[in-house]
Amino acid sequence: MTTTHVSKSAKPVKGTRTLERKNYPLRYVVPAGAMLLVFFFLPTVMNFIYAFTDWSAFKKTIDFNGLENLQQLFESGTLMADIKVTLIYAVLVAFFQNTFGLALAVLLEKDTPLNRFARTMFFIPVIMSALGAGYIWQAILKTDGVLNQIFGFFVGHTVDIQWLGSTTWTIVIVTIIHGWKWMGFAMLTYLAGLKTIDSEVLEAASIDGANAWQTFWQVKFPLIAPAMTFNVATALLGSMNSFDIVQATTNGGPGGSTEILNLFIWRTFGKGLYSQSTTMSLVLFVMVMVIAIPLVIYLRKREEKIL
Amino acid sequence: MSSATYSESGVKTNNLTVVRKKSKAGDIIHAAIVILLMLVFLAIPFWILIVTAGKTQAEAVVPSMALPSQWHLIDNIKEVIVEGKVFPALLGSLIVTVPSVFICLLFGSMAAWIFGRRTSKGTAMLYALFISGVILPPSVVTIMMLLKMIGLSGTAPGMICVYVGIYLSVVIFFITGFIRTIPPSLEEAARIDGASPMRIFFTIIFPLLAPTLASSTILVVLYIWNDIFYSLFILSGKMSTLPLNLYNVASAGLYLNNWHLIFAYIILMTLPLLIVFVIGQRKIISGITGGAVK
């Protein structure tokens, strides 16, 4: 803040930096900065402290206990299992959400009335509560649910596939639901990316005799790199922090096979084991950070190389 | 990058080349695929939602696509409103959502104006710090502890502060991208006339932000209106919101297998956002697509 005050007295002719400081005073970032500092950064710092204490609902005092929480979580197998589930979940969500979103964007790119209607309709799942969406899909995928009824109708006898009861495949199904919920959003960002492509580039491609397939993969796809960066990063990193869809469809089961970190955090918090919960929250934070930095750098580099 | 919004001219030239190549048959196949996808991925889930919400408990125990023998949608919604205590929950949702969005937009656009205009390395670093919340997960357990320390746990102001802390980053990210597309010349004219930064911000910049403010509003409202995770930690048992209430209704033993009530509730809580979206969909869609890909 001191620099702002100094620049005020200085003559505005001094160059762009001084001008900038005068015309765009830093005090305008203070309200946002204060809120972020107290309600985002401070809890994050506290997370790094309380993860190494014995804070719980059953004790009056809070003392440091070193790496004991981490060790307990590791020894019970929960730590590695939940990290693994969360990673698989995030990668699958990023895959489905982007595949569905990009496919929809390409399909609905032309500005026809039907396409405009479809774009609106595919955005409705985005508006819905994820918890609500999860309950609807639970009704569809239950063993006596609608999907098995539909299959049963076609094959002529009762089908009882346990869509939400497989320790291997249920996580894939839940991530497809997650992708379904957010595909409308990915579709919009990809559509925006497609619209930024210069029509001359496309004309040049068509003069060169490129067919639709070639035009897409060799011209359009590379040019929507910024949309891709945004979508892959938000889907991958955002889904590590998800909760409601899993909670509503499987509640972490079967056998913990869909227990992503936030489910553990909430369940353990509810038991009063606050420090264990905090430790897992720290694990999530570190995990996102460790993945985010190289990922964003890589995706940005990819953009620079293409554009 | 102003072409990132739906520019009509860009679309048309784009289509001309496509139209020339595609035959009528291609268009019909394309339309058929679009309709089929909508039927499978949207119509079926929404159909199940609506018919199940219209059934009696006996009919809805096993959810199916069959029509209810008699429509009970209004009765079910009434039952949910009375038994499920919807009004306090609706009030709770409104009390936390409206101020959170207002503060996010006001503080966010002020900060975004500075970040969008200043070019120094220091500002860029500060910007990176401010938008780190787009990616980094909030530390939910210690937020709860912090609120307890300052006496805001379980209260609407506490919840609002938490939401602002979580979603400010996204808002700043979106608005900064938009501000960079506004030519500074507009401000310079006013500045020569001696207008103060505050005057310039509120009379020139803020009105120009309307499209991006609209889409940021939608985005933040979407997150907060539907949030369950953070409100579980902060509000549980002290105050109700619509999703919290749905969660309690659905997990309570009393409501186990009461699909008709759960689905009636989902319809009820989705309606407000759906109405807003249908009215403003053109603006919302172009606003979101304009801001994200910078």
Q: Are A161 and A45 within one domain?
A: no
CATH number at residue A221: 1.10.3720.10
How confident is the model at residue B22, as a pLDDT? 53
Please tell me the distance in Å from B122's CA to the nearest CA on chain A.
11
Measured in angstroms, the CA of B254 and the nearest CA of chain A are apart by: 17
Whether A1 and A131 map to the same domain: the answer is: no
Inter-chain residue contact B164 with A139, CB threshold 8 Å:
no
Task: Kindly tell me the sign of the dihedral angle through the C-alpha atoms of A57, A58, A61, A67.
Answer: negative
Residue B55, SS3? coil
A159 φψ region: left (φ > 0), alpha (ψ -120 to 50), beta (else): beta
Q: With contact defined as beta carbons under 8 Å apart, do B239 and A275 qualify?
A: no
Whether A58 is in a domain gets the answer no
Three-class DSSP category at A65: coil
Our CA angle for B282, B178, A34, nearest 5°, is 115
For residue B2, what is the nearest residue in chain A, using CA coordinates? A196
Q: How far apart are the first and last CA of chain A?
A: 38
Domain B84-251, CATH homologous superfamily name and number? MetI-like (1.10.3720.10)
| Pick among B44, B234, B262, B289 to test the A interface (most A CBs inside 10 A) | B289
Domain membership of residue A62 (yes or no) is no
**What's the CA gap between A93 and A71, in Å, rounded?**
30
Give this prediction's pTM: 0.86
Domain ranges, residue A117: 69-306
> Residue type at B29?
I
The total of other beta-carbon atoms located within 10 Å of residue A290's CB is 10
Rounded Cα gap, residues A247 and B247, in angstroms:
10
Task: List the pLDDT tens digit at each of the 294 positions of chain B.
Answer: 333 444 434 444 444 444 445 578 888 888 999 999 999 899 999 999 999 888 887 787 778 788 888 888 888 888 888 877 888 899 999 999 999 999 999 999 999 999 988 888 888 999 999 998 888 999 999 999 999 999 998 899 999 999 999 999 999 998 998 888 888 888 888 888 888 888 888 888 888 888 888 888 888 998 999 999 999 999 987 888 999 988 887 876 555 578 888 888 899 889 888 888 888 777 777 666 655 444
Cβ distance B11 to A131 less than 8 Å, yes or no, reads: no
- For residue range A168-208, list pLDDT tens digits in order: 899 999 999 999 999 998 998 898 888 888 888 888 888 88
**Contact state of A107 with B37 under an 8 Å Cβ cutoff:** yes
- Do both A229 and A100 map to the same domain? yes
Q: Do A123 and B277 touch (CB under 8 A)?
A: yes
Residues A4 and A121 in one domain: no
Residues of B in contact with A208 (CB under 8 A): none
ipTM for this prediction: 0.85
Q: Do B65 and A150 touch (CB under 8 A)?
A: yes
Look at residue B7 in the predicted model and tell me its pLDDT.
40
- Say whether B135 and A233 touch across the interface (CB within 8 A): yes
Count of A–B CB contacts within 8 Å?
286
B231 versus A210: the higher-pLDDT residue is B231
A150 is a domain residue? yes
Query: What is the predicted pLDDT for the residue at A8?
Result: 42
Give the pLDDT score at B57. Answer: 77
Write out pLDDT tens, residues A242-268: 999 998 888 887 888 899 999 999 999
* A192/B34 CB distance under 8 A: no
A251 with A108, same domain: the answer is yes
Q: How confident is the model at residue B157, as a pLDDT?
A: 94
Q: Which of A59-63, A93-97, B94-98, B203-207 has the lowest mean pLDDT?
A: A59-63
Q: Are residues A99 and A171 in the same domain?
A: yes
Asked if B139 and A144 come within 8 Å (Cβ–Cβ), the reply is: no
Q: Answer whether residue A213 is part of any domain.
A: yes
Average predicted confidence (pLDDT) for chain A: 85
List of chain A residues whose C-beta atoms are within 8 Å of the C-beta of residue B6: 195
Judge if A200 and A123 occupy the same domain: yes
A270: nearest CA partner in chain B: B233
Residues A42 and A86 in one domain: no
Residues of A in contact with B228 (CB under 8 A): 129-131, 243-244, 247
B111 chain-A contacts, CB cut-off 8 A: 28-29, 31-33
Q: Does the pLDDT value for residue A153 go beyond 60?
A: yes
> To the nearest whole angstrom, how far is the Cα of B210 from the nearest Cα of chain A?
19
Q: Is pLDDT larger for residue A226 or for residue B137?
A: B137
Residue-level pLDDT at A137: 92
A7 located within any domain = yes
- A141 and A21, same domain (yes or no): no
Q: What is the pLDDT of residue A93?
A: 95
Provide, as residue numbers in chain A, all residues whose Cβ is less than 8 Å from the Cβ of B63. 139-140, 142, 145-146
Nearest to B290 among A192, A266, A281 (CB): A192
pLDDT given for residue A14 in this prediction? 52
Q: Where are the domains of chain B?
A: 2-73, 84-251
Q: Which residue of B has its CA nearest to A199?
A: B14
DSSP annotation string for A127-190: HS-HHHHHHHHHHHHSTTSHHHHHHHHHHSS-----TT--TTTHHHHHHHHHHHHHHHHHHHHH
Claim to verify: residue A42 and residue A131 sit in the same structural domain: no
Residue A92 pLDDT exceeds 50 = yes
A61 located within any domain:
no
**Same structural domain, A42 and A87:** no
Mean pLDDT over residues A202-218, rounded? 84
Specify whether A5 is located in the same domain as A82. no
Count: domains in chain A: 2
